[in-house]
Amino acid sequence: MNDRSQTLAYADPALGGVAVQAQRHKVLRNTYWLLALSLLPTVLGAWIGVSTGITRSLSGGLGLMVFLGGAFGFMYAIEKTKNSAAGVPVLLAFTFFMGLMLSRMIAMVLGFKNGSDLVMTAMGGTAGVFFVMASLASVIKRDISGLGKWLFIGALVVFAGAIVNVFVGSTAGMMAISTLCIGVFSLFMLYDLKRIIDGGETNYISATLALYLDLFNVFQGLLALLGLGGGSND
């Protein structure tokens, strides 16, 4: 808010409320645009990964180290550049990397006879979850900030379970983790959207990163469940 708008806000509180709402809408609008844009590098990364098989060898502990090192490295860089002109390119580079990392699972699912249908179903399901959570976030009036600590604990459980299952390789464990992942990050989506709407998040790059991770994890969870439960080679 610039000096002129601040002066007007002090002179007329109603104008201050309008200015605050306008700022929140701007953050939300920019977040939606950047989120849509961020999906393009993700699709490109996934396509390159599937087409070239570049991530085929990244299994087990090696794949886990590459993923964690790359993901946390990029997220650190995004946090450092979110207030500069480099913020958006770094975020888009991160989403390309995530697409590459996702390509191994997509390639496995596409190996089924109905693989294309499963991928499209996971995409449609993720879009449906986002639509529902965005609608809920716009109508819920109560403060849900207290949900954050429980969701963080849930995310840690998913994260720890996924790491353990990399080495255990349990199908039942994978299904349980995927189901929990969908539930936790669907609620995280609602939580993050509500924070933006309520003005709790004012940086659209940080907001986009949070929502992107929610979408990514919901899609990944749905794809894993569909691949484990609905994959067919007949």
Nearest CA among 161, 142, 155, 165 for reference residue 214:
155
pLDDT by residue (tens digit) across 102-130?
999 999 999 888 889 999 999 999 999 99
Residue 61 near residue 165, CB atoms below 8 Å? no
In this prediction, residues 9-30 reach a mean pLDDT of: 71
Rounded CA gap, 232 and 234, in Å?
6
DSSP string, 111-129: TSTTHHHHHHHHHHHHHHH
Residues 6+ apart with CB under 8 A from 229: 175
What are 29's two structure tokens? Answer: 């609008």
pLDDT at 26 over 70: yes
Q: In whole angstroms, what separates CA 181 from the centre of its chain?
A: 12
Q: pTM here? A: 0.88
Which carries the bigger pLDDT value, residue 205 or residue 143? 205
